[in-house]
Chain A
Amino acid sequence: MENFLLRNIDNPKSADISEYEKAGGYKNMEKALSMDADNILGEVKTAGLRGRGGAGFPTGMKWTFAKADPKFPKYLMCNADEGEPGTFKDRPILEKNPHLLIEGMVISGYVLGAEYGHIYLRGEYPEAKDILNAAIKQAYDKKYLGDNIMGKGFKFELSVHQGAGAYICGEETALIESIEGKKGQPRNKPPFPVNVGAWGMPTIVNNVETLSNLPYIMEIGGEAYAKIGSAECPGPKLFSVSGFVQNPGVYELPMGTTLRDIIFKHAGGMRDGKKLKAVIPGGISTPVLPETGIDCAMDFVAMPKAGSMLGSGAVIVMDESVCMVKVTYRALKFFEHESCGKCVPCREGTDWLRKILGRIEGGDGRQGDVELLSDVAAMIAGKTFCPLGDGAAGVVAGMIKYFKSEFDEHINDGKCKFSA
């Protein structure tokens, strides 16, 4: 498959508008602005585009809800919070292909009747902030943003809003709270953001990669797009591959490429001839899979059947030198730190999981601790305000499911055999 999302990124000047235009950039926006918005929405539905932020919600359906709401103005929020550990797939778009995102946002805004867009960018991407701001300025100068874009009578204003280091602000309602200048704590749903979002108005939150697919759908049409990769959730997908592989990096592959192919065919297999032990397939919030579980198709439908989730498509590859208790402990430190504190099961539960894991890893684990971990995880799962707590519980449950013997060994031996 030829790259689309990562097209041209090897060109050192790829972020410049003239290079982007040379490669055909903004042609798809011009085409879109001459079409009927409802027809484009039809193409998005035919394409079968699903959100790339982690949940895989059908984009066409979300947009239909937002369009049906009679309130104006509507706001389009690009979720560039990219906080899920292991994930670095939006970064090449933001830093190397910012005009693709801008073009995708104008097309989306046109379809939705949204005249205002904000890119919620994580605070830890200072370079991307400067690059995006420069690209937005270039687009304004060319009349690709602002009033009466390309003389087609559509207005779209776009700006960058910088987050400040809170993972939870990637959750769409927390993102909206944050953009409104508040603590990033998730809101109750319903009402959904498509009806009552930022400043009380219909608000559409989509991931960077999702929005960047719009020019492609315009270019090849929904039907051709639907033929790429998995039938039930088609299209190109960016995978961030890290850990003990020969060639870590971001790979653009058809949705549904198997985990085995991602690791062994595309990322060059294991580093230093070591043996694969385990893979976290979709970012730290997704349950681990053992070496025997990697023949699954990486998409939103197949992964839950394989016992995990596609998440953000962040593949973390671990070899035999890695202690699974330590990984679990580190993951829980993260969840405890990032829990927003709004609901008790998540705030207290992640704290307890972290404490128990800490003592097991430190050699002070007690008999019954593994059962206690499972109990606490079960008391979090399904009982929290937002999916952050579910993620934490699923990680612990997954690790115990496949690597219980390693937890037992730590407790029985009173030490971690991996930390020499």
Chain B
Amino acid sequence: MFNETVISEINEIRGKYPDRRSALLPSLYIAQREFGWLSHEAMTCVAKTLNLPEADVRGTASFYSMFKNAPVGRHVIQICTNVSCMILGAEKLVDIVGAKYGVTSGGTSEDGRFSLVIMECIGACGTAPAMLVDTDFYENLTETNILEILDKYK
């Protein structure tokens, strides 16, 4: 089960909505933060804390791409390849990163350092190509600066 601090954090969020199910997305984010991904156990904790059927929790979680259904690396590289980024070379960046760190799209490197996710538009099209590493934005990427940036994430 979640510890007391997490439970009170979730209870506080519940107060913002007229019903408890509405606290589900925020609670799934908290569970993902606590467990690293939404394991069976993590979702059971959410279901118990919000007093919701587990099927509802799992069904909702599976709909959203930012909820992870498998463990991820220490850092998640999220490269946008939608049109504005693609026409400015994003696919090449995916290849370069993949080759350098031995990670394929949707996968995690063997050393557990990086997971690679191909993203839809992340709202940085004016400074394309762009990526998010965990929650940090990087824009105007080039074939060289992307590796320098990623080098900082150990």
Contacts and interface: CB of A to CB of B under 8 A. Distances in A.
Contact of A85 (B59, B66, B83, B135): B83
Interface in A165-180: 165-167, 178-180
B26 interface: yes
A331 B81 CA distance: 10
Contacts of A167: 120
A232 interface: no
B137 A242 contact: no
Interface in A284-314: 284, 314
Interface string A178-220: 1111111000000000000001000000000000000000000
Interface of B: 16, 18-19, 21-26, 28-29, 56, 59-60, 63-67, 81-84, 86-88, 119-128, 132, 135, 137
A112 interface: no
A59 interface: no
Contacts of A163: 25, 64
11 contacts: A122-B123, A161-B26, A164-B29, A181-B21, A181-B23, A181-B25, A181-B56, A183-B59, A199-B18, A243-B88, A249-B126
Contacts of A330: 81-83, 86
A180 B120 contact: no
B65 A91 contact: no
Interface stretch (A123-131, A252-260, A358-366): A123-131
Given A182-B21, A199-B19, A284 B82 contact: yes
Most buried by A among B24, B26, B83, B128: B83
B125 A85 contact: yes
Given A164-B29, A179-B22, 16 more contacts: A86-B121, A88-B125, A124-B123, A124-B132, A161-B25, A164-B28, A180-B21, A184-B63, A241-B126, A243-B125, A248-B128, A284-B83, A316-B83, A316-B84, A327-B83, A334-B120
Contacts of B132: 124, 126
A90 B123 CA distance: 9
Contacts of B18: 199
Interface string A84-96: 1111101100000
Contacts of A48: none
A322 B87 CA distance: 7
Contacts of A159: 16
Contact of B120 (A127, A164, A316, A337): A337
Nearest to B82: A85
Measured as residues with beta carbon below 8 angstroms from the partner, the interface class of chain A is 35 or more
A242 B81 contact: no
A248 B81 CA distance: 17
A320 B136 CA distance: 33
The 9 closest A-B pairs by CB, nearest first: A181-B24, A164-B64, A165-B66, A242-B125, A85-B121, A126-B135, A181-B21, A165-B65, A242-B84
A183 B87 contact: no
A241 B125 CA distance: 8
Given A86-B84, A243-B84, A178 B25 contact: yes
A161 B64 CA distance: 14
A338 interface: yes
A14 interface: no
Given A86-B125, A125-B123, A166 B64 contact: yes
A91 B66 CA distance: 19
Interface string A13-28: 0000000000000000
Contacts of A85: 82-84, 120-121, 125
